Amino acid sequence: MSKEVNPSYLNKEELIYEVKIREEVPDSTVDALRKQLRSLLSEYPSDQIVKTDLDPNDELEVIKQKLKELQELVVKQKQSPSSTSLIRLKTLAYHLHHRLNRVEVEEVSIKQKVSFCQGSLNILFELLEQQIPGNPQEDEISEQPAVDCKQINNIQVFDHHQSEKPSGSGCSRAGNKSIAKWNVRFNGVSDPRSFLDRVEDLQIADGVSDQELLDSAARLFVDQALIWFRAVRSDLTSWKELRALLLEDFSIVDYDFKLLGEIRLRTQGIEEPLHIYFSIMKCMFGRLKKPLPETEKLEILLRNIRPFYSQQLAFVEITSVDELLKKCKVIEVMRQRGLDFSEPDKQNFSVFTSDFLYKPKKQAQSSFSSSKQTGNPESVWRNTKQNSVTCSQVAAVSKEKQLCRKCGKPDHNFKTCRKYTSDKCFICGKPGHFAKLCQNNVNKPPQITKN
């Protein structure tokens, strides 16, 4: 029996898979995909493609779901036969047959899963062949009804024992025990991404499979989140589906926009090490649904690192975040060396190296001139301040000793001196009036007479 797929009875996911393994770019619509696959099948038949670059675990998850679909179709076809359903059955079975043969088997766990899938598929093939016209008659099939039911029930072995060892289900129980010790809970209020990151870190550390994680997911939820999980549990078939639904239902509105605002405001703390700050920023960048370009990440980091680094990198061309981190580390090393620097100490030298002691210059000049030569701005400032104080003191003393230019006595000036005060006119020399009222004053204002 030829096991070639019929493009007219494949769904979109299956069509995309068939086109991709033939190293073509899939079209966007189902009709275009079917037309594309028909032309490819004539040149690249399914049995000639024996390898793919797809992840084996992801492929087995898809195959598992499609085996369930095939099982339901077989039962439905047995209850109410239909020629259209039969063609879909054959096409899906052939698609799974070739797809399963292309899964790379290297690890023992993957090999076990593939063998379970292959056994389930063989059972479904036997049931399918009995329903194809020209195969054993209905009376022959009806003689073995118990065998058919048993075979259909045996397909469930893959669901419950896909991770088992020959000794039993100890592996699954060990995974559940590990999950119970994690002490990680989601309550529906905290950030779901932080929760998922922690769960997946522990999953890798303890070697827990996605299926074990899904089976024990009730341990990971409390409060409102547990109520939510109970409501959606029957609709979930994989951990990936649970993860996607969790993010969809519990993520805040405009998550990327708000997170990007927090990223732009996250500056480096005064005592925060470089490697810690850069690690935090990389994690924050990684949580964005739409990744930022490298240039924008670089611009944010250059603005948010300590000014000590950004000022020294003002005229340096930097093209990546990793390059920025390396240059900042170099600056940090040089800064630390500057802080650790100390002046030479005579007492630390032994008698054997006394010839190499530092000998400072003798201070023959004044403190002000020596500070100018050494270029110590602090000493210059102090000496200048002392000089200004001395000048002000001299000015105050000279002010105290100032004498009047009229009488020669201190404590007043000539404007306030009363020695030569009299009622005589300075113009005519006669007493009784002042100069401004003197008749001989040419600048005397005219007098207004009354009529």
- Residues 337-362: what's their mean pLDDT? 72
What's the token pair of residue 433? 């009036």
The pLDDT assigned to 364 comes to 55
DSSP-assigned states of every residue in 74-98: HHHHHHS--HHHHHHHHHHHHHHHH
Region 373-400 average pLDDT = 52
Structure-token pair, residue 309? 């680094």
Residues 161-209: pLDDT tens digits?
444 433 333 333 344 567 877 888 888 888 888 888 888 888 888 888 8
Tell me which DSSP letter residue 410 carries. Answer: B
Instruction: Please state which of the ranges 288-292, 297-301, 392-396 shows the lowest mean pLDDT.
Output: 392-396
Which residues make beta-bridge pairs with 410?
403
pLDDT value of residue 139 = 42
pLDDT per residue as tens digits for the range 396-445: 555 555 777 667 777 777 667 766 555 677 778 777 677 777 777 766 66
**Which residues are 431's β-sheet partners?**
424
Summarize the confidence of residues 228-233 as an average pLDDT: 86
Residue 351's pLDDT band (cuts 50, 70, 90): low
For residue range 76-111, list pLDDT tens digits in order.
887 788 888 888 888 888 888 888 888 887 777 777
Which whole number is the average pLDDT over 12-21? 89
What's the confidence (pLDDT) of residue 401?
A: 58
What digits encode the pLDDT tens for the residues 103-159? 887 777 777 788 888 888 888 877 777 766 655 444 443 344 433 444 444 444 444
41: pLDDT strictly greater than 80: yes
Summarize pLDDT for 317-340 with one digit per residue, the tens: 888 888 888 888 888 888 888 888
| Mean per-residue pLDDT over the chain, rounded | 75
**Alpha-carbon torsion, ordered 135, 139, 143, 144, to 10 deg:** 40
More confident residue, 45 or 352: 45
**Residue 171: per-residue pLDDT:** 39
> What pLDDT is recorded for position 141?
37
Tokens of 195: 């929760």
If pLDDT is split at 50, 70 and 90, which confidence band does 450 have?
Answer: low
Query: What pLDDT does residue 142 have?
Result: 38
List the one residue out of 90, 102, 115 whose CA is nearest residue 1.
90
The answer to whether the beta carbons of residues 351 and 358 sit under 8 Å apart is no
